[in-house]
Amino acid sequence: MPEQRIRDRSDTYGARHAVKTLGQKIGFPRRACDELAIVVSELCSNILKYGVHGSMNIDALDGESGIVIVARDFGPAFHDLTLALKDGFDDRGPIDPMNMMKRGGIGGGLGAIVRFSHSFRVDPLPDGKSIEVIRYLKRPLPGAFGSRTV
Amino acid sequence: MDSVKNIELTEVEQRILESVADALLVLANVGFGDYASRLPIDPNDNSPLTSLFAGINEMISALSAEEERSRSYQRELEEKLATIEQQKVAIQELSTPIMEVWDGVLCVPVVGLMDTARSSEMTSALLRAVVENGARCAIIDITGIDVMDTRTVDHFIRMAKAIRLLGAECVLTGISPHIAQTVVHMGLDLTNVVTHRSLRDALQQYVSRGIATSTAA
């Protein structure tokens, strides 16, 4: 699928639609497509909030065994990824509840991405970073509720 | 040694030099954006210079037309961009419509995707609306939502509690079985969060209560 430019909030809608369409084509059930749309949405929000602007590629894995999403941005690297992945935290530490409303988020974006996918990987780029997220078609999500299936 | 000053120019060479000077002047004007100037042509003069000048004039006309076209495209583009900005604002407002369906009863029908950004926006908008309207009840209908990340569900419940703190009741309607499972598995505290199966049930309850209260008063 062609690379999507993520420069503006309205680009988010295009990317969400693209992943839902591809998901359906590959055979993900509707709920999984919605979850993938949330993954894309969270990645886009982060690009726009912290990465200034970026791009996204959404493709099927070999043999249509899943979907791989690669989000690139031109922002700074994660100061501490372990912290950033925690709900209620950003990459510097816990988010002050007083600031929560101003931020326009709830400190849960990366958490949501990780909970709705099988693999999450950050790589540095010369002028930014790249985040690769994979979700397999025939593997259950290791969610909070172990018996959940894809 | 011959210097240029000492060379005697013939009349023809003189004329050519003058014409070239004229041409350079006009071209300089064009370079500055003046597409109105043209080179003078004597229709009776069949010299190659005349053809050249005619060609240059045609080129200037073409450039002028092009420039006008480009300017009108620019204007059109600016108008379209302004429209897009307006529509963005409209979409933003429409995405979290908060309606006052009865005195003090707010209703928020949520459709589409509930990601963290949206849940944050909804919370801000709703809390503000509860305060501004002096609402005593906010009914949030999530019939259209089947998927929410656990952290987002948690935030939703916190939002309901915040609304409670503002003195209004918070009612959630249209919770799907999937989300109900998520909430239960998370072990969230649901005291003070009222739920109804459908928006209709909730409206029936709160609007009739509202009518009863106002007739009693």
Q: What is the pLDDT along chain A (150 residues), one digit of tens a residue?
A: 889 999 988 889 889 999 999 999 999 999 999 999 999 999 999 999 988 899 999 999 999 999 999 999 998 888 888 888 888 888 888 888 877 777 778 888 999 999 999 999 999 999 999 999 999 999 888 765 544 433
Please tell me the distance from the alpha carbon of residue B100 to that of residue A6, in angstroms, as a whole number: 36
Q: What pLDDT does residue A82 have?
A: 87
Using alpha carbons only, give the angle B105, B110, B114 rounded to the nearest 5 degrees: 135
Asked if the Cβ–Cβ distance from A38 to B113 is below 8 Å, we say yes
- Residues 88-147 of chain A with CB under 8 A from chain B are 88, 100-101, 103-109, 111-112, 115-116, 144-145
What chain A residue is nearest to B113 in terms of C-alpha separation?
A38
Q: Is the CB of residue B129 less than 8 Å from the CB of residue B101?
A: no
Per the structure block, which two tokens stand in for B82?
Answer: 């302004």
Q: What pLDDT does residue B3 have?
A: 53
Please tell me the distance from the alpha carbon of residue B14 to that of residue B17, in angstroms, as a whole number: 5
Residues 6+ apart with CB under 8 A from B41: B50, B53, B54, B57
Q: Is the CB of residue A12 less than 8 Å from the CB of residue A79?
A: no
Alpha helices in chain B (DSSP H): 11-31, 48-95, 116-133, 150-165, 177-186, 199-216
Asked if the Cβ–Cβ distance from A115 to B149 is below 8 Å, we say yes
CATH code: domain B99-216 is 3.30.750.24
pTM of the predicted model as reported, rounded to 2 decimal places: 0.75
Please tell me the distance from the alpha carbon of residue A94 to that of residue A90, in angstroms, as a whole number: 6
Among B156, B98, B95, which residue's Cα sits nearest to residue B131? B98
Q: Is the CB of residue B194 less than 8 Å from the CB of residue B161?
A: no
Point out which residues pair with A59 in neighbouring strands.
Answer: A68
Residue written as token pair 């948690």 = B154
Residues from chain A contacting residue B155 (CB–CB below 8 Å): 106, 108
DSSP state of A61: P
Neighbours of A6 (CB within 10 A): 25
- Collapsing DSSP to helix, strand or coil, B13 comes out as helix
Instruction: Report chain B's terminal Cα–Cα distance, integer Å.
Output: 116
Provide the shortest C-alpha distance from residue B3 to chain A (in Å). 59
Point out which residues pair with A123 in neighbouring strands.
Answer: A130
Q: Does A35 touch chain B (CB under 8 A)?
A: yes
Q: What pLDDT does residue B213 have?
A: 66
Which of A38, A45, A100 shows the shortest C-beta gap to B147? Answer: A38
Asked if the Cβ–Cβ distance from B181 to A145 is below 8 Å, we say yes
Domain A4-73+108-136 has CATH 3.30.565.10: yes
Q: What pLDDT does residue B48 have?
A: 82
What is the biggest distance separating any 2 CA atoms in chain A, rounded to whole angstroms?
Answer: 48
The residue among B95, B116, B157 with the most chain A CBs within 10 A of its CB, best to mutate, is B116
Query: Bigger pLDDT: B77 or B16?
Result: B77
Residues of chain B with CATH 3.30.750.24: 99-216
- Above 0.85 for ipTM, yes or no? yes
DSSP state of B98: -
Judged on CB neighbours under 10 Å (0-12, 13-18, 19+), A131 is buried
Please tell me the distance from the alpha carbon of residue A53 to that of residue A7, in angstroms, as a whole number: 5
